[in-house]
Amino acid sequence: MSDNSLLSLQMTNDDIGVLTLDDPQKSVNILSRSFLVDFEACLDQLEDRTDVAGLVIRSTKPGNFVAGANLQEFVADIDQPADKVVALARRGQQLFGRLAQCPFVTVAAIDGLCVGGGSEMAIWCDRRIMAGGEKTRFGFPEVKLGLFPGWGGTARTPRIVGLGNAVELITSGDPIDAAAALAMGLISHVLDTSQDGQVSSADALLSAAVALIRDEQKSRQFLRDRQQWAAPIAISETELGFLGATASAYIQGQTKGHYPAPLAALEVLLGGAGLDVESACQLEAEGFAQLFGSPVNRALLNVFFLSDHNKKEHGPVGTRPRDIRSATVLGAGIMGQGIAAANVKRCVTVALGDIASEAVARGVQGIIKEASYNKTTGGPDIERALQYTPLVNGTMSDSELAASDIVIEAIYENVDAKRALYARLEPLLSEDAILCSNTSTIPITELANGLQNPERFCGLHFFNPVRRMPLVEVIRGARTSDDTIATAIAYAKAIGKSPIVVGDGPGFLVNRVLLPYMNEALLLLEEGASIKDVDRAATRFGMPMGPITLYDTVGLDIAMHAGSVMQQAFPNRVVPAKILPAMVAADRLGKKNGRGFFDYFSDSKGRQKARPSDAAEKIIQQSAKADPNANIDFADRLFLPMLLEATRLIEDGIVADVRDVDLGLIYGIGFPPFHGGLFHWADAIGASQIVEKVAKHESLGARYEPTDFLLEHAKSGRTFYERQS
């Protein structure tokens, strides 16, 4: 093994091998081809000895056991024929399967994240133990990449934890904590390493693993389990049929048919139940090969790489981001509360201000409620609330509001109101503090007019709801400094967000690309299309909701304001729909006042529900044509304007990389990940075919005029992603 190997093998107590994982080159342990070679060599070395009682596999990297396989190496085989992929999977199964055949006890001592290939390595061991704590998680996330485990995970797991538990664990892709792993029999016990500060977590786990090996040597239970776990699963046809039917219905409800991997995993799990483990592994390998390299697999891998690239973004070269320990949020509405709560959850102290003390008080309450929310209980957690409350300062004092390292303005979209607020607070800021606006449409350069230090001002646009939407647009004004951009990026990451740097301009990245899609939906209604047809086309494409439903969610008055900004900026191609101002004039604003394109009511459990609205339909009909076009391709009409605007965005230099557009839309509006992003979707179709589709709508005017960027790719045959390579 090389000096840079992930693995090191030592003997303890003379008869127990300790295989330690700790990649010196990375912050996490990743399984690579070189790891597999070294792992095989370690097993060869141990199996050649006659004095080995057990093997412990552990990691000494804090918070991480194994974070999966090296996907860059993984995709190198993506174009291999199916039989080659089957052979690759079988080699992995056979290598890890040796752990269940060694002439000694094998134990995985897991502290931190254990997912993907790491979980499969652990599942082939005779026993597993886990450290307690929030960072320790075990899971099979492969379905989130359009795959399922291919190194024995679907064959071995149900034999240890039961078929029902394995179905849930593998088809969901969600990791579980140590308590859940213990409850389902995945691990032997949980080790609480928080009690003794004198002993490291890794050392404590090692001691526990050695003790477990000694117990197994005496009881020989591991040998009986090996025999049982190699055999078919004892389950009746009735039970198998019921599990298959209920799990299939649930998966189809969750995936809407867009993600084939969970159902494929279910089929392999059910099909392998009646086979011995070796035959189940063969079935797994064959099923894995059918998914590997599929369009959805390629799209989801692209999303993974987009996210990974974003994590490595640190801002302009040579910059020094400032340390942000305190934040101020100006505006105690829903957005302000969400931004403040994101800070509090990362233990950043927050000052909250608004124009009225009552608003501030409500805002503080909302922040604590949001920050202390516990997913497990479905409500606020008292302990968290007590922990977070001291971090929030609701205040009307300008000096207290200006005392933070970063000040984020999140008031309503009005240039004069924002500038007046800046004029009041900027003179009170420290010389290192940065000022940001959460504006969604107003150019940052325009807002910076009149500032004393425009170089320390930028846009920091969060998306609603802040708790769920990972994207933050970091917007560079004409005079924003590189250090300010670097600080904003570092800050956004520190509070758990994914920042994308964009240039200044109306709508920035996400809203500029979203608004043509939204406006086209209204123009379709005016052409006689129904709300149902328009929304259904979008959700069938994979959007989380239709554009008409989205109007009601955002608020029709807010949407009208955003649309007017875009119309002023691009009057030649933005065709204003008559429906929107008519709806606003009728006080139909959406969910917030209970009436928009739909009427809203509360059900017996107090949940807001929607139903068709006769009043809204009447307003639509006043603007609609009598004879709708029966040949409308709704998906093209909705998504081609979005794509064309994205190409203009690149041409205008708002963003330099199509990857930023793709990740921004996935993280900002929920563009379907199984398409891999807007430009990835376009690449799957081909630029020349996109030009042909656009040409069919040329009679609709400038908004369907192909851009030079699009025509260039259609002529050259190059993909949009190739341009960025």
pLDDT bracket for residue 607 (50, 70, 90):
confident
**pLDDT at 198 (0 to 100):** 47
In a domain, 713, yes or no: yes
Catalytic site positions: 461
In a domain, 312, yes or no: no
Same domain, 493 and 517: no
Strand partners, 351: 328, 393
Residue 495 is part of a domain; what is its CATH number?
3.40.50.720
Same domain, 189 and 280: yes
Same domain, 125 and 48: yes
Choose one of 444, 477, 504: the last residue of a domain. 504
The reported pTM is 0.92
Same domain, 403 and 473: yes
How many angstroms separate the Cα of 601 from the Cα of each of 77, 415, 536, 594? 53, 35, 22, 7
In a domain, 663, yes or no: no
**pLDDT at 626 (0 to 100):** 67
pLDDT in tens, 281-326: 999 999 999 999 999 999 999 999 999 999 888 888 888 899 999 9
In a domain, 316, yes or no: no
Residue 610 reports pLDDT greater than 90: yes
In a domain, 676, yes or no: no
Instruction: With residue 385 as reference, give the H or E element that holds it.
Output: helix 382-388
Same domain, 516 and 499: no
**pLDDT at 606 (0 to 100):** 82
Same domain, 345 and 280: no
pLDDT bracket for residue 1 (50, 70, 90):
low
Residue 605 reports pLDDT greater than 90: no
Same domain, 209 and 255: yes
Query: What's the whole-number average pLDDT of the chain?
Result: 94
Retrieve residue 592's tokens: 């917030």
How many angstroms separate the Cα of 458 from the Cα of each of 328, 329, 350, 486, 517? 15, 15, 19, 11, 27
**pLDDT at 119 (0 to 100):** 97
Same domain, 14 and 151: yes
Same domain, 281 and 344: no
CA-based radius of gyration for the chain: 28
**pLDDT at 318 (0 to 100):** 87
pLDDT bracket for residue 443 (50, 70, 90):
very high
Residue 87 reports pLDDT greater than 80: yes
Residue 424 reports pLDDT greater than 60: yes
What's the total number of domains in the chain? 3
Residue 640 reports pLDDT greater than 60: yes
Q: Mean pLDDT over residues 259-265, rounded?
A: 98
The least confident of 125-139, 357-371, 619-633 is 619-633
H runs (alpha helix) in 60-114: 71-74, 82-97
Choose one of 489, 504, 519: the last residue of a domain. 504
Question: How many Cβ atoms are within 10 Å of 621's Cβ, its own excluded?
Answer: 14
Q: Mean pLDDT over residues 82-90, rounded?
A: 97
Range 583-594 burial, b when 16+ CB lie within 10 A, else e: bbeeebbbbbeb
Q: Residue 416's Cα: distance from chain center in Å?
A: 36
Owning domain of residue 566: 511-654+686-724
Q: Mean pLDDT over residues 437-459, rounded?
A: 95
In a domain, 299, yes or no: no
pLDDT in tens, 183-209: 999 999 999 865 554 456 778 899 999
Per cent of the chain over pLDDT 70 is 97
Q: Mean pLDDT over residues 698-706, rounded?
A: 94
The least confident of 2-6, 140-144, 537-541, 638-642 is 2-6
Residue 92 reports pLDDT greater than 80: yes
Q: Name, in order, each residue with C-beta under 8 angstroms of 86's C-beta and a sequence gap of 6 or more.
A: 285, 286, 288, 289
E strands, 521-655, are 598-602, 608-612
pLDDT bracket for residue 482 (50, 70, 90):
very high
Q: Mean pLDDT over residues 237-247, rounded?
A: 96
Helix axes 614-623, 510-526, angle to 10 degrees: 80
Same domain, 238 and 373: no
DSSP string, 392-422: EEE---HHHHTTSSEEEE---S-HHHHHHHH
Choose one of 504, 535, 559: the last residue of a domain. 504
Same domain, 357 and 254: no
Residue 693 is part of a domain; what is its CATH number?
1.10.1040.50
pLDDT bracket for residue 579 (50, 70, 90):
very high
Question: What phi-psi label fits residue 606: left (phi over 0), alpha (psi between -120 and 50 degrees) or beta?
Answer: left
Relative to beta strand 7-12, strand 16-21 is antiparallel
In a domain, 305, yes or no: no
Closest CA to 276 of 108, 73, 97: 97
In a domain, 343, yes or no: yes
pLDDT bracket for residue 623 (50, 70, 90):
confident
Retrieve residue 52's tokens: 């080995």
**pLDDT at 603 (0 to 100):** 87
Same domain, 524 and 448: no
State the Cα torsion 707-708-714-715 to the nearest 10°.
150
**pLDDT at 379 (0 to 100):** 79
